Structures are given as structure tokens and as C-alpha cells.
Amino acid sequence: MEFSAAQIAQIIGGSVEGNAATTVSSFGKIEEAVAGQLAFLANPKYEEYLYNTKASVIIINDTQVLKEPIQATLIKVADAYSAFAALLEQYQKMQSQQMVGIQEPVYIDPTAKKGTDIFIGAFAYIGQNAQIGNNTKIYPNAFIGNNVSIGNNTIIHPGVKIYHDCVIGNNVVIHAGTVIGGDGFGFAPQADGSFKKVPQTGNVIIEDNVEIGSNATIDRATIGSTIIKSGAKLDNLLQIAHNVEVGNNSVIAAQTGVSGSTKIGNNVMIGGQVGIVGHIQIADGTKINAQSGVSKSIKTPNSAVTGSPAFDYTAALRSQALSRNLPEMEKRIKALENEIKLLMQKLI
Amino acid sequence: MEFSAAQIAQIIGGSVEGNAATTVSSFGKIEEAVAGQLAFLANPKYEEYLYNTKASVIIINDTQVLKEPIQATLIKVADAYSAFAALLEQYQKMQSQQMVGIQEPVYIDPTAKKGTDIFIGAFAYIGQNAQIGNNTKIYPNAFIGNNVSIGNNTIIHPGVKIYHDCVIGNNVVIHAGTVIGGDGFGFAPQADGSFKKVPQTGNVIIEDNVEIGSNATIDRATIGSTIIKSGAKLDNLLQIAHNVEVGNNSVIAAQTGVSGSTKIGNNVMIGGQVGIVGHIQIADGTKINAQSGVSKSIKTPNSAVTGSPAFDYTAALRSQALSRNLPEMEKRIKALENEIKLLMQKLI
Amino acid sequence: MEFSAAQIAQIIGGSVEGNAATTVSSFGKIEEAVAGQLAFLANPKYEEYLYNTKASVIIINDTQVLKEPIQATLIKVADAYSAFAALLEQYQKMQSQQMVGIQEPVYIDPTAKKGTDIFIGAFAYIGQNAQIGNNTKIYPNAFIGNNVSIGNNTIIHPGVKIYHDCVIGNNVVIHAGTVIGGDGFGFAPQADGSFKKVPQTGNVIIEDNVEIGSNATIDRATIGSTIIKSGAKLDNLLQIAHNVEVGNNSVIAAQTGVSGSTKIGNNVMIGGQVGIVGHIQIADGTKINAQSGVSKSIKTPNSAVTGSPAFDYTAALRSQALSRNLPEMEKRIKALENEIKLLMQKLI
């Protein structure tokens, strides 16, 4: 999509200085923008870039005093940062609103129910008795299993796979390649050393306003539901095992794994590549540092932990620092041993 | 699928108490079940839930004495736990048996060979000379490359990608999004700092009764085969590199990575997020704790290791505990140093 | 594909000894090859296998003296290793050259531009204004979003998803299931504990000669571009966050994660399961050991680091070794304490 400086000025209520017909088609940071991009200047620290940026159009505060002539077209507004942020948001909305209707070919079971103003991309599969809410978009090559229910204003990106009987809420975003509702990893050891599959008959419930990154896996419950509660944000390549619960507005960074039946509270923040064992509780407001391994329940709300096995953040940092100094510590012990030996010889 | 209490009682040979027409459509745990679910009570510890559960139908032992009236319909059997487990298993079978035939559109190369009673979902791709065994199910959007051979009673879930020349056995389950047979990560460094691809001409062999989770990656061998042996169970987001072998009935949890040419023995159990370097052997029956980093061969069968780098489980736990106490240990050294200094002053 | 010994001898300029009509259809290592495979012998250490290998055809140096009669057909050349490597490469090329044309059904937006000699597999999706270069192959079930540009001689494997506006160079290989251009993980915390999505309006640029493994995720920039520079090689299940840059000819092994806005220099080598925090720089030529956690910029080129948090490789190995000896060290401190107590009693 291409916009002229005049069009942008109209959207954000700004005034143009320079060639109002100059067009831009994407956004750039003022320090690295190229021709055809729109940038902004709000932080005085970046003012130097204003005079040599390659951006074609720049949004600036109307209080900004110019020290040199500027090649780019300027749009002056009261608050450049807010105006730019508002534009970004509107752009994102427009991007997604472009897609409407049902492309061909798709596979939609006759028993599936479709809301209004939906988009279903080519090669998407909608199973028996599936329900797609209003304004919801199912991108190409997505798989929506039998009896899956998806709410309103939800975006299912390309190649997402949602197994049968799962429930997806309103305003949910699931990025490409993510798998919702695969079988939990449950196998009963047999006398001959082989394993017998434990049937995984539950489902996954994704509540409203959840966003899930790309190529993540959220397994269905053995019995009952694996639940991602309202407002939670999960990053790429995450592993959520069967019967796990993730609380409201909790945030989990990429490549973290949560083992079976663990309950994560509300407003928890978990870094990347964290591992959490099964059948434990993580209290509300807990902060878990990247690459930690959590092996026990965290019962005190708003704790911070790090390390593998994880413990109190501040204490762990002190231990980690000393751990680096082990060669030094070993030398001190050696010196003490020598001195003691000397003393012993003198005395005994 | 909906079943009445009467139908269920007939399947498991139980007797109904209450409204035999009550229907259920899924399973629940007695402590969290909702209306429309079937639960069971076997463990006396959970008896309290019997009187306030929202489950519509409950399977109980016929020896169970009721202390209060119960709203739900009851089905009495000799062994409630076994009856419930049998139902779960039968339900899982019915779920998968529902899918038969070939949906439209699919892409099946005319040279491909199809067994009897198969299911091929819409948008599945079956390449040249591929073979699909009897009773095997290929779910929508799956990709079966040229010359791939798949055995009988195998389930390939949606969006699985199997590159050319790979061999998949009988009774195998591969969950959604998993990639079998991508190129091994082999590049030869060149004098100018660039890398030249080493051709990856081998394949992947998945033997019988293997189950593989969602979004895992198992690379083809450079020459020869990457092999997952009979009965092995691999979890989500696993990385198995070129020329690796995983032994019979070995179990590997989510997000673990095994580097090139490593041979894992039989009945090995590996936790989540473990890393194993290339070109080593892991003895039969080894247990590797979650998040371990294994950098050397493990030669003694039935060893248990943990840590990164991994070593003996019990010793490692002791070291980890002391590692937390490093600040304390450092204080003790400091105290010793002071005392020695005092003694030295007195003596020398 | 099947070749006779006579055909292979002609390709590599060798002379046949034995049945020239013997055919092979794949490659094997001499020590594990089966009937129907082609092997080679170059390293004298492996000569013993020459006399009992099951390979049907073997390439050997013409200087090789035979101590026993051999069942397999032999092809004699000046340099057996080079001849075999050349064959592997030619085989890989032929494999990929087989696929040409456009299968049915596909979805190609009328505004998309297609180069010459391309392959587009069934169920592939090519969005508005997308550009596909010459000799480029888009495998089945791949998704190419709106305005995506792909160069010449590039291979997009099955089920790859490339979001709108991303740019892919020449001679690039992207393996199955990888997602390019998903939204960066950016959410602004709100006063009520919820999170508001930060629009991700940038893109991903993959430069020439890059290879990316299976089921990896490379997020689009918030503003600007996430960039993978020329010649970089990225393994399976990798996580590259928004606005990251990976330098020329850098190599990153499987399951590693790089957080937002971090810049990785040229010729960097990163092991598997490494985590790198956001907003740091990694100097050219840095080597990062598997499972490391890098929390600070590495400013000295050609450094080697390990551990979590990562520090100097040699020092870290020494600390790790001592860390295993902590129980021993604790005993030495205890002994010192006892001896001091003894001395104190004698003296004071």
C-alpha cells in the first residue's frame, strides 16, 4: 500500500512542509530508513539523523526547530510519537481487513457454521460441525478439525493445525504453523519394556485476547482441558503439555516448555528456553529468567527466580558469580591448607 | 459423539441408577467435570467430589456406599477405573475410525500405490511411487514425497511433511507439522569463509509402533539412514539430526536435540530440553534428566545423569546443592583466612 | 533413480571390473551398505570392509591392490573420494531438477509475477504482487504472502510459510515448515495488567545463498527489517526474533534462540540450544558453545564462550570441572575448620 504525505497528514491531522505528493509504502526508523519509507522524530537524542536520513516523509513535533534544510517532506503534529504509533496500528488493521471472502479451493464440511464477514483462504480445511465466528480470518492451508469452535475477530494464520474439539475464543491470534490439540505425551510402561498409549480425550481451550507465536505446540488434555487464559501472550516454538493451565495476562517467551498438569498463575512472566516440570504451581506475578529450569512449585506471589534448578534471583546471581570464581576459591583453599600445614609442623 | 447412560452401561456391562437417558459427549475428572461429561470414582480419596460434581454420568464401583443423594446418573460396575480406561480407549479408536475414503481435492501421483481402507484428507499430496499401506490415514495438508513408503495402520496428522525416499512402518503415529527427512545440517567450510553444502542423499527410517509429537524435525542421513527404532516415543519440537539412531522403546521428551551420528540405545529415557552432542553412544537403559547437556558417550547401561555438562545424577545433585551454597562457602573460607592470619601473627 | 555401473563409470571417467550391468539406486557407507547401493573405498583403514560389504557397486582408487576376490562390481578411478563426492552432488541436483512446471490445483494471484523454468507444487499459495524468480521451486502446501519477492534458483520446501512483504534472495534453501515473517513478540503492558499489541510492520530479508532448516521461525521487524545475511546457514527449530541481524557466513545450530534487535557479526559459529538476549552485539568470528546463555555483548572478535551465563571458554571449562568437585572442596574446608579449631584450642 502506498500513501502520499498529503493523505497521511490528513489521517493524523498534521500540516505538510515540502512536496505533499511524495509517497511512502513502509515504515522506517529515522536512523536506518531508506527512500520510500515514513519515519518520525520525537526523541531529541535522534535529531542528528533528521538531517541525513533517507526517509521520504518524516513526522515531527510542530515545536521542532530545524537547524538545517531537510530533503524529506515533513508532517508537523503536536505529538510525533503518538501520531506515528497510531499510524502503525491503523496500517496493521488495514493489512488484515484486506482479506475477506472465501477463496477457491477450500474444504468446508457442510455441517460447519460460518459467521459473517469471514475470510477463508485457499486450501484451508474446516471439519464437521466446526464453528467460525464473525470477522474471523482463516488463512490458507490452515486445518480446523471436527467440532472446533472459533470466536469472533480471531486470526488463524497460514498452516495452523487445530485438532478436533478445541475451543478458540474472540480476538485471538495464532501464528503460522502452530499446532493446537495434538495428543498429550502419555504412555504407560508395559512389562516387556514397550509403552502403551494413554488415550488423550480432552481438548485445548484458548480464551479471549490470547496471542500465540509461530510453530508452537499446545497439547490436548488427557481428560478435561489444557487452558490458555484470557490475555496470555505466548511466543514462537513454545511447548505446552497436556492439562497445563496458563493464567490471565501471563507472558511466555520463545522455546520455553511447560510439562504436564502444571498450573501457571496470572501475570506471570517467563523468559525464553525455560523448562518447567510437571504437576507444580507457579504463583501469580512470578518472574522466571530465561533458560531457568523450574523443578518445584513457586508459592510466593511476585517471586523472581533464575538458574537450573531455579532459585531466588538475587541469591542465584551471587552463586553464579562465585561459580565463575571457583578456580580462585580453590587457590585460596590450597593456600590455607599450606599455611595450616606450616602451623601444624611448628606446633605439634 | 453423544452417548446415553444406557448405551455406556451396555458397553461396559454396568447397571444404571438414575435417568438412563442422560447423555454425555466427553470425559471429565470428577473434581472438575461439567454438565454433559462422564466421570468416574475409584479412589476413595476423591469420594467427597461424588456429592457435588457437575458430571452428568458417573461410573462407580458397585461396592461404593452412598452417604448422600446424588444428582448424576450412576453406572455401577465391578471395577470403575478399568471400565473408564476401556471407554477412553474405545472412544479414541472410534474418533480415528470415523475418517475413511479420499476427500477432494487431493494430489495423488498416478504411480503411487494405495492400500485398502485408507483415508486421504483434502489438500494432501502423495508423490511419485509413494506407497500407502492398508488402514493408513493421511490427514489434510500432509506432504508425502516421492518414493516414500508408509506401512499399515499408520496415522499421518495434518500438515506433516515427509521428504522423498523415507520409510515409515506400521502402527506409527506422526503428529501435525512434524518434518521427516529434511536435509541434515552439513556444510563444508571453504577458504573464503563461505560454506559449501554437503549433499544429503540418505533417508529416514521410522520403524513400527513409533509415535512422534507435533512440529518435530528428523533429518535425513548424509549417506545411509537416520533410524527411529520400533516402539520409540518422541515428543513435540524434538530435533533429531542426520544419521542418528534412537533405540527400541526409548522415550524422548519435548524440545530435546540429538546431534549428528549419535546412537541412542534401547529403553533410554530422556527428559525435555536435553542437548546431546554428535558422534557419541548412549547405553541401553540410560536416564537423562531434563535440560542436561550430554557431551561424552555414556557406556554403562542404566546410568542416570543430569546437568550441563551431564554427569552422575546423585553426585550432580550434591554439587548443584553446594553450588547454591557458594556464598556461604566463600564466607567460611574468608573466616578461615582471618583466623589463620591471627594465628600467624601470634606465632611467627 | 537407478543407474548401472557402466553409466556411473562413464559419468566419473572410470573403468568397470565385474558386471557392468549391475544397478544401484542409492548411496551407502562401505561398512553398512546393503544390496542395491553404491559405496566407495578411499581410506585404507576401511579396506577390510571391501571384502565383505553388501554394496553392489564400489568406487575404488585404481592403485588399490585387491587381497581377495570381490563380489561387487568395481569402478576404478584416480581419486575414489572425489569421484564419489561429485556423484553425490550431481545426484542432489538431479533430484531437484526433476520438479518443473505448475501442478494443479494451486492458488496464484493474477498479479503475481512468475520467472522462467519454475516449479510450483500442488496446494501452494502465491499472494498478490508476489514475485517468483527464474528456476525457483515452490513445493506443495507452501504459502507465499502478498508482495513477497523470491529470487532465482531458490528452493522453498513443502509447507513453508512466508508472510507478506518479506524478501528472499537467490540460491536460498528454506526447509519444510519454517515460518518467515511472523509477528515479532512485542506487547506494551497496560495499567490493568493486560498487554496491548505493538504493531509489527517491518519485514524479513533473507539474502543470497542462505540455507534455513525445518520448522524454524524468523520474525518480521517491528519497524525496518530482520536480516539474515548472505551465506548464513541456520539449522532446524531456530528462533530469530524481530529486528535481529545474522551476519555473512554465520552458522547457527538447531534450537538456538536469538532475542530481539541483537546483531550477530560475520563468520560467527553458534552451537545448538544457545540463548542470546536482546539488544546486544556478537563480534565477528565469535564461537558460542552449545546450550550457552549469552547475556552481554561479545566485543572481542574470534572469542570463544560457553556456559549460562556464558563467559570465556577455557575459564568456563575450568570452573565447570571444579563445580563437579564441590563436595570435595567442601570437605577440604571442613577439614581446615577442624584443624583451625584444634590449633586455636592449643594456642588461645
Rounded to an integer, what distance in angstroms lies between the CA atom of residue C232 and that of residue B238? Answer: 23
B161 close to B155: Cβ distance less than 8 angstroms: no
**pLDDT (0 to 100) of residue C156:** 98
Q: Which positions of C are catalytic?
A: 242
Q: Do B273 and A273 touch (CB under 8 A)?
A: yes
- Is residue B318 included in any domain, yes or no? no
Q: Cα dist. B342→B328, B338, C226, C340 in Å?
A: 21, 6, 62, 11
Tracing cell 512483504 back to the chain, one arrives at C165
- What string of DSSP letters covers A47-99? HHHHTT---SEEEEETTPPPSS--SSEEEEES-HHHHHHHHHHHHHHHHHHT-
Residue A346 lies in a domain: no
Residues A129 and A70 in one domain: no
Is A254 in contact with C239 (Cβ distance < 8 A)? yes
Residue A139 contacts by C-beta under 8 Å, 6 or more apart in sequence?
A: A99, A119, A121, A124, A155, A156, A157, A158, A159, A160, A176, C143
- Is residue A201 classed as helix, strand or coil in its secondary structure? coil
**C-alpha–C-alpha distance, residues C209 and B139, integer Å:** 34
List the single residue in A125, A185, A319 with the smallest CB-CB distance to B121: A125
Question: What is the per-residue burial (b if ≥16 Cβ within 10 Å, else e) of B16-40?
Answer: bbbebebbbebbbbbeebeebbbbb
Mean pLDDT over each residue of chain A, to the nearest integer: 94
Domain boundary among B56, B71, B97: B97
- Interchain proximity A88–C241, CB inside 8 Å: no
DSSP run (H or E) holding A293: strand A293-294
Lookup: cell for C121: 507444487
Average the pLDDT over A35-39 and give the result.
Answer: 94
Find the CATH number of the domain harbouring B197: 2.160.10.10
Largest CA distance in chain B: 97
Q: Which C positions 102-161 lie with beta carbon below 8 A of chain A?
A: 105, 107, 123, 125, 141, 143, 145, 159, 161
Q: How far is CA C239 from CA A219, C25, C155, C246, in A?
A: 20, 37, 21, 12
Tell me the three state secondary structure of residue C313: helix
Q: What secondary structure letter does DSSP report for A124? A: -
Interface check for A317 against chain C (CB to CB < 8 A): the answer is no
Q: How many residues does chain B have?
A: 348
Name residues 23-82 of chain B within 8 A of A (Cβ).
Answer: 26-29, 32-33
Cα–chain center distance at C62 = 36
What is the rounded CA–CA span in Å between residue C291 and residue B320? 17
Question: What is the C-alpha to C-alpha distance for residues B268 and A232, in angstroms, rounded to an integer?
Answer: 36
CB C340 within 8 A of CB C334: no
Domain membership of residue B176 (yes or no) is yes
Per-residue pLDDT at C341: 87
Cβ contact B199–C253 (<8 Å): no
Assess whether A260 and A130 both reside in one domain.
Answer: yes
Q: Are residues B133 and B44 in the same domain?
A: no
Q: Is residue C338 part of a domain?
A: no
**Proportion of chain A in helix, strand, coil states, percent, rounded to 5:** 20, 30, 50
- CB-based contact A153:A136 (threshold 8 Å): yes
DSSP state letters, B124-138: -EE-TT-EE-TT-EE
Q: Which of A159, A273, A343 sits opposite C343 (nearest CB)?
A: A343
What DSSP line would sit under B251-287, residue for residue?
EE-TT-EE-TT-EE-TT-EE-TT-EE-SS-EE-TT-E
Strand partners for A292:
none
Distance from CA of C296 to the nearest CA of B (A): 21
Show contacts of A296-299: CB within 8 Å, 24+ apart: none
Pair A130, A118: CB distance under 8 Å: no
* Cis peptide bond upstream of B301, omega within 30: no
**Are the C-beta atoms of residues A250 and A268 closer than 8 Å to each other?**
yes
- 197-236 in A: which are within 8 Å (CB) of B? 197-203, 215-217, 219, 223-224
C91 and C105 co-located in one domain: no
Q: Is residue C319 part of a domain?
A: no
pLDDT for A89 = 85
Q: How many domains does chain A have?
A: 2
pLDDT given for residue B98 in this prediction: 75
- What interface predicted TM-score (ipTM) does this complex get? 0.92
Q: The C-alpha cell of B211 is what? A: 509415535
- CB nearest to B182's CB, from C236, C324, C325: C236
The pLDDT assigned to C348 comes to: 60
Residue C317 lies in a domain: no
At C325 the pLDDT is 87
Per-residue pLDDT of chain B (348 residues; tens, 9 = 90+): 789 999 999 999 999 999 999 999 989 999 989 999 999 998 888 999 999 999 999 999 999 999 999 989 999 999 999 899 889 888 888 877 778 899 999 999 999 999 999 999 999 999 999 999 999 999 999 999 999 999 999 999 999 999 999 999 999 999 999 999 999 999 999 999 999 999 999 999 999 999 999 999 999 999 999 999 999 999 999 999 999 999 999 999 999 999 999 999 999 999 999 999 999 999 999 999 999 999 999 999 999 999 999 999 999 888 888 888 888 889 999 999 998 888 888 776
CATH of the domain at C17: 3.40.1390.10
Is-contact C108 C122, C-beta < 8 A? no
- Determine the longest span between alpha carbons in chain C, in angstroms: 97
The pTM of the whole model exceeds 0.90: yes
B212 in the same domain as B278: yes
Residues C89 and C131 in one domain: no
- C234 and C290 share one domain: yes
Show the domain range for B255: 101-312
Option in B273, B327, B344 nearest A257 (CB): B273
Residue A133: Cβ-neighbour burial (10 angstroms; 0-12, 13-18, 19+): buried
pLDDT in tens, chain C (348 residues): 789 999 999 999 999 999 999 999 889 999 889 999 999 998 888 999 999 999 999 999 999 999 999 989 999 999 999 899 889 888 888 877 778 899 999 999 999 999 999 999 999 999 999 999 999 999 999 999 999 999 999 999 999 999 999 999 999 999 999 999 999 999 999 999 999 999 999 999 999 999 999 999 999 999 999 999 999 999 999 999 999 999 999 999 999 999 999 999 999 999 999 999 999 999 999 999 999 999 999 999 999 999 999 999 999 888 888 888 888 889 999 999 998 888 888 776
Contacts of A211 in chain C (CB under 8 A): 183, 187, 197
* Amino acid B348: pLDDT: 61
Q: Answer positive or negative: Cα dihedral of A190, A196, A202, A207.
A: positive
pLDDT(A1) > 80 = no
Query: Between B and C, how many CB-CB pairs are < 8 A?
Result: 186
Task: Examine the pLDDT at A95 and tell me if it is beyond 80.
Answer: no
- DSSP state letters, B30-54: TTT--TTEEEEE-SGGGHHHHTT--
Helix (H) or strand (E) holding B95: helix B80-97
Tell me what pLDDT residue C243 has.
Answer: 97
CA dihedral B320, B323, B325, B331 (to 10 degrees): 160
A72 lies in the same domain as A114:
no
Chain C residues with beta carbon closer than 8 angstroms to that of B289: none
The answer to whether A37 and A84 have CB atoms below 8 angstroms apart is no
Let me know how long chain A is.
348
Rounded Cα distance, A262 and B190, in Å: 48
CB A166 within 8 A of CB A152: no
Residues B107, B79 share a domain: no
Q: Is the domain of C247 the same as that of C120? A: yes
Which of B92, B95, B215, B248 has the most A C-beta neighbours within 10 Å, making it the best mutation to test the interface with A?
Answer: B215
A242 in the same domain as A165: yes
Give domain status of residue A325, yes or no: no
What is the pLDDT at residue B232? 98
pLDDT at A348: 60
CA angle A272, A278, A279 (to 5 degrees): 130
Average pLDDT over residues A195-205: 93
DSSP secondary structure of B298-336: B-STT-EEETTTTEEHHHHHHHHHHHHTHHHHHHHHHHH
C-alpha cell at B195: 560454506
Cβ pair B135, B116 in contact under 8 A: yes
Residue A348 in any domain: the answer is no
Identify the domain boundary among A69, A97, A125: A97
Chain A residues inside the 8 Å CB shell of B344: 339, 343
Helix (H, G, I), strand (E, B) or coil at C44: helix
| Residue located via cell numbers 578411499 | C42
Rounded CA-CA distance B298/B290 in Å is: 16
Q: How many CB atoms lie within 10 A of CB A112?
A: 19
Domain stop point among A75, A97, A119:
A97
Interatomic CA distance for residues C162 and C156, integer angstroms:
10
User: Could you tell me where the beta strands, DSSP code E, fall in C46-185?
Assistant: 57-61, 73-77, 101-102, 107-108, 113-114, 119-120, 125-126, 131-132, 137-138, 143-144, 149-150, 155-156, 161-162, 167-168, 173-174, 179-182
Long-range residue pairs from B278-286, CB within 8 A, at least 24 positions apart, any chain: B278/B241, B284/B247
Residues C209 and C65 in one domain: no
